[in-house]
């Protein structure tokens, strides 16, 4: 047993899985980049008040899950449990909202929630998120949703579902909330549920217990009580998603864990993930900027769980990204050859070719094994005899073909082998 282990509920990603993790994150980031989102880098901890006010004091995230502590100066700080509040804080602080709108930002990194750890639920989780601030055009809602959908599809995922609904706004939600509270007051609820209903009646709709689902079958739903503006906004969004052939299902009982949502809300769900099936989620937060002391601008965004998206690729049996560590592997026999190969490796790397080599005077057989294990497509084998002749053996590790190449020609020959597509068998 090691003296130290990672903190409870915190995943390590070590090779080879770390490579797949990076591919998942980068693929999601690229989908945002293609839609014009600029990267934003934010602190991992913030003034605690930013989250209590931004995310909402009654949410589980704020009331039970935050890593909050006093720093040595006595300030209360919190490890960020989510990204939207911090982005909004930075947008206001740097006056980005005074420039061209919408402001479109993308981020990735670690978030912290003191949750009960289980499969797919961690205390340090990683997200890729985007936020688009300063427009309530439903075309933007569709864009945000489509960026996530595209990212998932580019990874090869197909077994997920997009749940969509509208939570209304300050014009229609208060009246609906009262209607729902009145309905709930007529039910016989246990103590914990009564308390939940008191804090936020909407949360009760999410109760998965069968007897609760039965009792809630006739509960009024927000989607049926939207004001004309919210209804038109939602209809327009649906029309755009339909036109773009982005599939979704209406889920008017969806409940998000954060308080800032208005109008459009959505969740990508992967049934292959088990109990923690949310791969990503988001929505509009039209009151958040004003709530945090900024002007009254609307916004929409998503947070995708990178950990869970990786788990989803595994659940679908997908191999994500290139599993190889390098493309070329140097196998020197003898000290002089090791020096010459270290120079060649350096040259290849400068030319953009991924290259590794055997160190420490490994025996030829051991070094060839390491070459195969690295995933390289080419081994460069160099011994005293080749050195004397000014050549190197270039071995194609996939086909087994080997040729003797003048040292001066290594770069173009390696390039040619790497660029050559594997022959496709012709049938018929």
DSSP 75: -
Q: Which is nearer to ligand HAM, 79 or 258 (CB)?
A: 258
Position among 62, 125, 230, 368 found at the interface with ligand HAM (CB under 6 A): 125
The residue within the footprint of ligand HAM, chosen from 52, 84, 262, 391 (CB under 6 A), is 84
Q: Which two tokens stand for residue 382?
A: 């160099």
Question: Please, what is the minimum distance in Å from the beta carbon of residue 122 to ligand HAM?
Answer: 4
Q: How near is the Cβ of 111 to ligand HAM at its closest, in Å?
A: 7
- The answer to whether 287 contacts ligand HAM (rule: CB under 6 A) is no
Q: Residue 352: CA atoms inside 13 Å, Cβ hemisphere, count?
A: 4
| 280 binding ligand HAM? (CB under 6 A) | yes
Q: Which residue has the tokens 């929409």?
A: 300
- Asked if residue 259 binds ligand HAM (CB under 6 A), the reply is no
In sequence order, what DSSP letters do the residues of 243-287 get, joined into one string? HTT---EE-TT---SSTT-EEEEEEEE-GGGTT--EEEEEEE-TT
Q: In the bound complex, what is the minimum distance in angstroms from residue 287's beta carbon to ligand HAM?
A: 13
Q: What angle do CA 141, 146, 148 make, to 5 degrees?
A: 105
Min dist. Cβ of residue 283 to ligand HAM (A)? 6
| Nearest to ligand HAM of 146, 407 (CB atom) | 146
131 in contact with ligand HAM (CB under 6 A):
yes
Instruction: Verify binding: residue 121, ligand HAM, rule CB under 6 A.
Output: yes
320-379 binders of ligand HAM (CB under 6 A): none
Query: Residue 124 has which token pair?
Result: 């340090």
Residue with smaller CB distance to ligand HAM, 201 or 280: 280
Give the number of residues in contact with ligand HAM, rule: CB under 6 A: 27
If one asks whether residue 225 binds ligand HAM (CB under 6 A), the answer comes out as no
Asked whether position 82 contacts ligand HAM by CB under 6 A, the answer is: yes
Among 308, 354, 377, 395, binds ligand HAM (CB under 6 A): 308
Site for ligand HAM in 13-32 (CB under 6 A): none
Find where tokens 């945000």 sit. 144
**Residue 129 sits in the site that holds ligand HAM (CB under 6 A):** yes
Interatomic CA distance for residues 393 and 91, integer angstroms: 57
Of the ranges 115-123, 195-203, 219-227, 418-426, which one interacts with ligand HAM (CB under 6 A)? Answer: 115-123
Nearest residue (beta carbon) to ligand HAM: 305
Q: How far, in Å, CA of 376 to CA of 318, rounded?
A: 21
Residue 297 DSSP SS3: coil
Cβ 193 to ligand HAM shortest distance, Å = 22
Under 8 Å between Cβ of 294 and 304: no
Q: Contact 300/141 with Cβ under 8 angstroms?
A: yes
> Contacting ligand HAM (CB under 6 A), which of 127, 193, 313, 345?
127
Could you please report the per-residue DSSP string of 17-54?
HHHHHHHHHHHHHHHHHTTTPEE----SEEEHHHHHHH
**Is 104 a binder of ligand HAM (CB under 6 A)?**
no
Minimum Å gap between C-beta 75 and ligand HAM is 23
314: left (phi over 0), alpha (psi -120 to 50) or beta: alpha
Among 29, 197, 279, 348, binds ligand HAM (CB under 6 A): 279
Say if residues 88 and 293 touch (Cβ distance below 8 Å).
no
Do residues 301 and 144 lie in contact, with contact meaning Cβ atoms separated by under 8 Å?
Answer: yes
Give the residue, chosen from 152, 302, 332, 395, that forms a contact with ligand HAM under the rule CB under 6 A. 302
Inter-axis angle of helices 306-315 and 17-33, to 10 degrees? 110
Of 39, 40, 58, 110, the closest CA to residue 79 belongs to: 110
> 3-state class of 109 per DSSP?
strand
Q: Which is nearer to ligand HAM, 20 or 125 (CB)?
A: 125
Interaction between residue 56 and ligand HAM (CB under 6 A): no
Mapped onto helix, strand or coil, the DSSP state of residue 12 is coil
| Position 134 contacts ligand HAM (CB under 6 A) | no
Q: Least CB distance from residue 413 to ligand HAM, whole Å?
A: 46
Judged by CB under 6 A, the residue of 51, 122, 160, 176 near ligand HAM is: 122
Binding site for ligand HAM (CB under 6 A): 82-84, 113, 115, 120-122, 125, 127, 129, 131, 257-258, 278-283, 285, 301-303, 305, 307-308
């Amino acid at each position: 047993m090691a003296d130290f282990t990672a903190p409870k509920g915190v995943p390590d990603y070590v090779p080879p899985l770390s490579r797949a993790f990076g591919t998942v994150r980068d693929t999601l980031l690229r989908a945002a980049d293609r839609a014009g989102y600029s990267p934003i880098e934010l602190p991992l901890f913030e003034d605690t008040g930013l989250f209590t006010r931004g995310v909402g004091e009654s949410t589980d995230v704020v009331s039970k899950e935050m890593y909050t502590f006093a720093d040595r100066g006595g300030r209360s700080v919190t490890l960020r449990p989510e990204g939207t509040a911090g982005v909004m804080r930075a947008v206001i602080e740097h006056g980005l909202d005074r420039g061209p709108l919408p402001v479109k930002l993308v981020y990735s990194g670690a978030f912290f929630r003191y949750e009960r750890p289980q499969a797919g639920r961690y205390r340090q989780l990683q997200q890729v998120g985007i936020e688009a601030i300063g427009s309530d055009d439903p075309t933007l809602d569709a864009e945000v949703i489509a960026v996530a959908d595209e990212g998932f599809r580019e990874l090869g995922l197909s077994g997920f579902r997009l749940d969509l609904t509208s939570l209304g706004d300050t014009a229609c939600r208060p009246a609906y909330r009262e209607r729902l509270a009145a309905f709930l007051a007529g039910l016989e609820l246990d103590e914990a549920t009564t308390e939940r209903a008191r804090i936020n009646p909407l949360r009760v709709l999410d109760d998965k217990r069968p007897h609760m689902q039965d009792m809630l079958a006739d509960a009024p739903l927000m989607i049926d009580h939207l004001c004309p503006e919210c209804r038109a906004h939602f209809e327009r969004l649906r029309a755009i998603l339909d036109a773009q052939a982005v599939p979704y299902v209406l889920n008017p009982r969806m409940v998000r864990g954060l308080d800032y949502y208005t109008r459009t809300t959505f969740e990508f769900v992967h049934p292959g993930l088990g109990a923690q099936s949310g791969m990503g989620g988001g929505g509009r937060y039209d009151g958040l900027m004003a709530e945090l002391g900024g002007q009254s601008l609307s916004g929409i965004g998503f947070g995708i769980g990178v950990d869970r998206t990786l788990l989803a690729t595994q659940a679908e049996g997908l191999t994500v990204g290139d599993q190889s560590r390098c493309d070329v592997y140097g196998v020197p026999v003898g000290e002089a050859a090791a020096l010459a190969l270290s120079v060649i490796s350096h040259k290849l790397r400068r030319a953009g070719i991924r290259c590794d080599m055997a160190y420490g005077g490994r025996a030829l057989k051991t070094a060839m094994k390491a070459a195969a294990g690295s995933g390289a497509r080419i081994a460069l084998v160099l011994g005293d005899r080749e050195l004397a002749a000014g050549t190197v053996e270039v071995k194609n590790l996939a086909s087994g073909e080997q040729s003797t190449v003048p040292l001066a020609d290594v770069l173009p020959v390696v390039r040619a082998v790497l660029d050559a597509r594997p022959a496709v068998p012709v049938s018929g």
